[in-house]
Amino acid sequence: MTAPVAIVTGGSSGIGELTAHQLNERGFTVYAAARRTDRMKGLERSGIRTRALDLTVDRSMQDLVEGVVAEQGRVDLLINNAGFGAFGAVETVAMADAKAQFEVNVFGLARMTQLVLPHMRAARRGRVINVSSIAGYVAEPYGGWYHASKHAVEGLSDCLRMEMKPFGVDIILVEPGPVRTEWNAIAANSLVASSKGTPYAKQAKATRRALKAMNSSILAVPASRVAEVIVTAALNEKPSARYPVGRRAAAIMIAGKYLPTKAVDAVTGLLYHAR
């Protein structure tokens, strides 16, 4: 049998880049896709195919999937990893920015899935792994639009999992807790920028400190660990529906499920609010 074929979105850095490398080492034919193609030279040197992808442009997504199918005859694995977080109070984040976040995190993910599913159904096998977050289970101040997008990914994936079961296609969620990546600093800076000159400016600075502290937290996991879990989910003959990543992820998910909402709010407030 020829090598299984995988598409990894958000492949230019962080979790996506590391996942592409690990799949390549496991014998997959890997297509890493991202907007920043100039940052994927290292992937190319490893024999990974790189492609341009803009998740806000339908033609870009169609061209990617059609091109992979034309070259390989199939798609066995789609890893929807691309996404971003624009933080700020729900009141102050511009609706254009909120919509852009949903366009990438939810609608781009959904459209990529729509495009590969006909090929997977025809083969009666395939796997879609959606990189979600514990943000899809819990909440934190000033992350409303990001959390809303991840809650949407959770719900969408649960529905898809049931829809695809009769066709032999697995839909899997990978749910990291805090991860040591550049994402934390980017989210923190967007928070301060969107809150400047508003009643939320003081609290935003406190939340920025909490976000940046995640990179040095012993409870945060490296991006390589998330990539390892994604590859485990890709290779497992009987995969789980969900893969939390990191001890803090599991603990937060349990707390969010069983503790009273006001208790969770109080603990979260201690972490994020200025005193």
Q: Exposure of 228 by Cβ count < 10 A (0-12 exposed, 13-18 middle, 19+ buried)?
A: middle
Nearest Cα to 172, choosing from 115, 112, 229? 229
- Give the number of other CB atoms < 10 A from CB of residue 96: 8
- If you ran DSSP here, which 8-state letter would residue 65 be given? H
Which stretches does DSSP call E strand in 161-269? 169-176, 179-180, 221-222, 242-245
Do the beta carbons of residue 41 and residue 17 sit within 8 Å?
no
Would you name the residues annotated as active-site residues? 12, 132, 146, 150
Helix, strand, or coil (residue 85): coil
Helix, strand, or coil (residue 172): strand
